[in-house]
């Protein structure tokens, strides 16, 4: 007769897996997670708020679905998280009907950190020498069924309130475009240059494995269809550019996320007046 240990070993391995997200819920770095600034903005259909610890699992799931999922069915949920997720403020947008998180982004503020996601892809030392509080906006994603003007408007309301309350001077971060094509990178870079959307300060450039080593000769020499190139630029990046953002340096190639990242900076002193009036009003 088999002893108990032998019987246990013969059972399917899945019976001994930890409960869903156990490793995140009880990770020491998330046990004491709490937002540093509480936002709450309500519209007829959505609520924007600072994420609580209990909402982290759901927002990590949404990020995985948007950034990493390949469309195949998985037996278990997967999550997108990294070493910055316990030291930032996560902002979530809730659909009031389903009670589900349909949008999220995170903010790293220079008031409490000197380490940023963008530093892993770009040289930013000269930019960080500039005086003024800086907010890194990252991991912005919206569920496919909720990519509408109302959600982007709400996202900007959250960014505006957070910026005003924190006294920020700069907004910056990696804006992703879903392509890994070198030709697309050259065409997009040429488009930004032609539209005078490129900044030249701070000597910002991609580093290490993220450097595609694009040359100005390649960028200026490519023949592009401007209409088709513009279609590659996602609505959120278009809204940053409309607000007054500039793109700095060549794009960084992120193979893991199958995208190209464009370092964008908004100097809030040069913010588009219509955005200032709508989203950045003093309380």
Q: In degrees, to the nearest 5, what angle opens at C-alpha 91 toward C-alphas 85 and 97?
A: 130
* Assigned token pair, 100: 């589900």
Cβ atoms of residues 144 and 65 within 8 Å: no
pLDDT recorded at residue 244:
97
Look-up of token digits 């494995």: 209
pTM attached to this predicted model: 0.88
Distance CA 240, CA 232 (A): 15
Q: How confident is the model at residue 12 (pLDDT cuts 50, 70, 90)?
A: very low
Distance CA 261, CA 120 (A): 12
| Domains of the chain with bracketed CATH | 20-279 (3.40.630.30)
pLDDT in tens, 193-220: 999 999 999 999 999 999 999 999 999 9
Which residues does 115 contact at the CB level (< 8 Å), separation at least 6? 84, 87, 108
């Amino acid at each position: 007769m088999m002893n108990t240990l032998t019987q246990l070993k013969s059972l399917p391995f899945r019976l001994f897996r930890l409960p869903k997200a156990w490793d995140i819920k009880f990770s020491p770095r998330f046990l004491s997670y709490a937002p540093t600034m509480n936002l709450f903005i309500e519209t007829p259909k959505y609520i924007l708020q600072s994420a609580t610890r209990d909402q982290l699992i759901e927002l990590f799931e949404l990020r995985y679905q948007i950034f990493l999922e390949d469309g195949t069915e998985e037996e278990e949920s997967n999550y997108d998280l990294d070493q910055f997720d316990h030291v930032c403020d996560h902002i979530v947008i809730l659909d009031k009907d389903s009670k589900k998180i349909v949008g999220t982004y995170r903010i790293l503020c220079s008031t409490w950190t000197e380490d940023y996601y963008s530093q892993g892809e770009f040289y930013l030392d000269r930019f960080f020498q500039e005086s003024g509080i800086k907010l890194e906006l990252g991991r912005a994603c919206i569920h496919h069924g909720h990519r509408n003007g109302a959600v982007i408007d709400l996202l900007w309301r959250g960014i505006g309130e957070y910026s005003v309350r924190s006294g920020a001077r700069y907004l910056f971060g990696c804006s992703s475009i879903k392509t890994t094509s070198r030709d697309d990178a050259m065409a997009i870079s040429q488009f930004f240059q032609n539209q005078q959307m490129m900044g030249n300060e701070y000597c910002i450039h991609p580093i290490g494995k993220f450097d595609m080593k694009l040359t100005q000769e390649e960028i200026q020499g490519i023949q592009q269809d401007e209409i088709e190139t513009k279609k590659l630029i996602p609505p959120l990046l278009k809204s940053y550019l409309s607000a007054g953002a500039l793109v700095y340096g060549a794009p960084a190639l992120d193979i893991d996320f199958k995208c190209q990242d464009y370092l964008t900076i908004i100097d809030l002193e040069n913010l588009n007046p219509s955005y200032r009036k709508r989203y950045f009003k003093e309380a």
